Structure 1
Amino acid sequence: MSKIVVLFGSLDTKGKDYAFVKERIEEKGFQAFVIDVGVMGEPLFKPDINADTVAKAGGESLVSLRQKKDKGHAMAVMTKGAAEIAKKRFTRKAISMPYLGWVDLPGLLLSLLQ
């Protein structure tokens, strides 16, 4: 069984970058598990967990976040949702060091450890 590398990223704006990183991870024999935290547009490739699922895990719908157009609020909701999903899907032992685009890294890590 190969190790899993979890990528949290905004696939609407940074999809090309994440696709590149995902390909490099898979070339090395690891499994890339991609969680989309992008709010404003559609992802450039299909993630394992889509942004609407992340938003709902954070307590709000993606449609609502888009309508509000409040980046700070959206980041807080998506960070909370990403942490909830990661807690449910992966054990603490499985988490080494995530690569995160704009997600609040200290906030996400603290959420995972609670």
Structure 2
Amino acid sequence: MYFFSALALTLNEMEEGVSLTDSRRRPDQRLMEAGRWDEANTEKQRLEEKQRAARRRREAEATEAQEEGREFEAYQPLWFHKQTDHITGEANFVYKGGYWEAKDSEDWSVCPDIF
């Protein structure tokens, strides 16, 4: 399919119990795989605008907090934290825990609504 290798095809297969933010749940991707190109494009545009709106809200909250002299906690990924590699000096994202526990308990309440 679409000149993907067998490995590439299996990487995107759905799996039970994955996070609500797992990229395999992307509705635009599912539509594309079903050959519904126009709907997939419309859905992708909706998702991108939703992401832009969330970012604008975070930026507005940060600006407001700064103007009021309050501290503002910047966006932090759920499952990773940024760390500088002591050898290369480059920034890396390192798993900080929590995903497998949430998967075991099937509790994804900490996940944002990204789709």
The answer to whether TM tops 0.5 is no
Task: Specify the TM-score bucket, using the shorter chain as the normaliser.
Answer: under 0.3
Q: Normalising to structure 2: TM-score of the pair? A: 0.26
Question: Based on CA coordinates, which of the two structures has the bigger radius of gyration?
Answer: 2
Scaled by the length of structure 1, what TM-score is found? 0.26
